[in-house]
């Protein structure tokens, strides 16, 4: 019998998934997949599969999209393979596969042609990373110019030779005029 038994509860799985922060990633920083775009931009979408039914009413939008726009999109994006799969009595769907191995699928049931076009454009413009709340909207490849602060930063060099504790290093510094300084500057008459 294991000392820590595996208990049938959703909470440990959920907690583990949050700790892994992958499939259920909630917040993250901006990322560059494989340094894409630093030297040359490469479309991260590798394959897109449009699945539809030739007779079904719910596939009308997808069929119209295939007739009117799919060939032109394929011509403009030669680095993406486009598959069209007619499957009888199936739900229309659009599946995209990205360079980092992830797959995204959109259910296109009862969509109009414009909606399908908008979703295909979304799939083309993504990098395959999950959509997350951003921890910060800015990120930089170059580290800070002046560096990270440490307790040793901006220490005066006189402390090297002075024997601590010394009065000059323990004095409180302030830009406001203290009462003592005020009286010294304005002696009473």
Site string for other proteins, 47-76 (x = CB under 8 A): x-x---------------------------
Alpha-carbon dihedral angle through residues 131, 136, 141, 143, given to the nearest 10 degrees: -160
**Is beta strand 93-98 parallel, antiparallel or unpaired with respect to 45-52?**
antiparallel
The residue (of 8 and 171) whose beta carbon lies closer to other proteins is 8
Chosen residue from 137, 149, 151, 172 binding other proteins by CB under 8 A: 151
Q: Which range, of 33-41, 54-62, 132-140, 164-172, touches other proteins by CB under 8 A?
A: 33-41
Q: Does 143 bind other proteins (CB under 8 A)?
A: yes
**Four-residue CA torsion sign, 86, 87, 89, 93:** negative
In the complex, what is the shortest distance from the CB of residue 35 to other proteins, in angstroms, rounded to a whole number?
A: 4
Q: In whole angstroms, what is the distance from residue 8 CA to residue 133 CA?
A: 30
Chosen residue from 69, 99, 113, 129 binding other proteins by CB under 8 A: 99
Q: Within its chain, how far is the Cα of 137 from the centroid? A: 9
Q: Which range, of 15-23, 31-39, 107-115, 179-187, touches other proteins by CB under 8 A?
A: 31-39
Which SS3 state, helix, strand or coil, does residue 52 take? strand
């Amino acid at each position: 019998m294991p000392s820590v038994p595996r208990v049938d509860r959703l909470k440990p799985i959920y907690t583990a998934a949050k700790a892994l922060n992958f499939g259920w990633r909630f917040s993250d920083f901006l990322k560059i997949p494989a340094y894409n775009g630093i030297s040359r931009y490469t479309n991260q979408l590798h394959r897109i599969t449009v699945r539809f039914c030739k007779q079904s009413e719910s596939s009308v939008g997808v069929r119209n999209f295939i007739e009117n726009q799919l060939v032109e999109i394929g011509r403009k994006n030669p680095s993406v393979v486009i598959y069209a799969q007619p499957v009888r009595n199936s739900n229309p769907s659009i599946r995209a596969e990205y360079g980092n191995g992830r797959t995204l699928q959109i259910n296109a049931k009862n969509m109009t042609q414009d909606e399908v076009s908008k979703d295909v454009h979304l799939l083309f413009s993504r990098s395959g990373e999950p959509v997350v709340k951003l921890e910060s909207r800015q990120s930089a490849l170059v580290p800070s110019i002046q560096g990270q602060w440490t307790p040793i930063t901006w220490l005066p060099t006189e402390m090297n030779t002075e024997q601590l504790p010394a009065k000059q290093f323990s004095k409180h510094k302030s830009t406001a005029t203290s009462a003592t300084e005020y009286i010294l500057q304005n002696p009473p008459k």
